[in-house]
Amino acid sequence: MPVKQDQQSGPVLSLGFSPCPNDTFIFDALIHGRVDCGFGFREQLEDVETLNRMALESVLDVSKVSYHLLGHILKDYLLLRSGGALGRGCGPLVVARGQVDPATLAGKRVALPGRYTTAALLLRLFNPTLTDFIYLPFHEIMAAVADGSVAAGVIIHESRFTYQEYGLSKVVDLGEWWERETGHPIPLGGIAAKRSLGRDALLRLEQGLADSVEYAFAHPGAARPYIRAHSQEMSDAVCDAHIGLYVNDFSRGLGVEGEAAVRLLLGRAAAAGIVPSWQEPLLIS
């Protein structure tokens, strides 16, 4: 792993990711020059749906995006094998007030954390008859469910650890459903990079991300100030749980299993008419 101390080198690329602890944990070493892939980075931290919409407009050179959104941008971007969120036991949850049978949600309004989130895609694959959606920032969904503004909501990120504080109950774990239905881990978000950067640059980026993940695992305390600077409302315990849930071996590299899961998700989304079919290579060859 090429390691540098707190400096950047080479051309500067725009890089978008969320302020959530899993992303700041993963990107800390890359952003702060503790690993070197020949680029400097100008980071832009935004919620996932803002990043999705920026990618739709090709604003950023490299960005964390929802796997749902990836299906809409493959003409201009491809997927890097490292740095993403994919795993088991980490899927979005549908929550409601009291015990609710998922079948009773037909015809009722459900809050989603963004039109292009993987959470929205999974719900549509789980129950294609649901059509009445409202899109809210992820951190507003639990309150909307609790006050009766919506019948149910799909929650992501740290909301998985706090929804019971709002008096809410789990209706269905969409990750568990996906794993049971397919046998595959659930792809949540990946790192997309512009094809126009060229193969050599893309390979260096992919390796740099893998090195950044390895550095974070090897030096977990190094990223703590960066994580806390962007998650001040979370306790250390919630931050650590968040990282433990979403950062794993698939963040180092998708591997055969991870790649198969991504292709299956996008294939099912295309078959359902939710994303376009694509001809371009998904990954760097």
Active site residues: 157
Query: Residue 172 in contact with residue 102, Cβ under 8 Å?
Result: yes
C-alpha span between 210 and 35 (Å, rounded): 10
Cα separation, 84 vs 283, in Å, equals: 13
Gap between the Cα atoms of 47 and 114, Å rounded: 10
- Distance between CA 1 and CA 251 in Å, rounded? 16
Residues 108 and 44: their CA atoms lie apart, in Å, by 36
Cα dihedral 95, 99, 102, 103 in deg (nearest 10): -150
Backbone angles phi, psi at 172, to 5 degrees: -155, 145
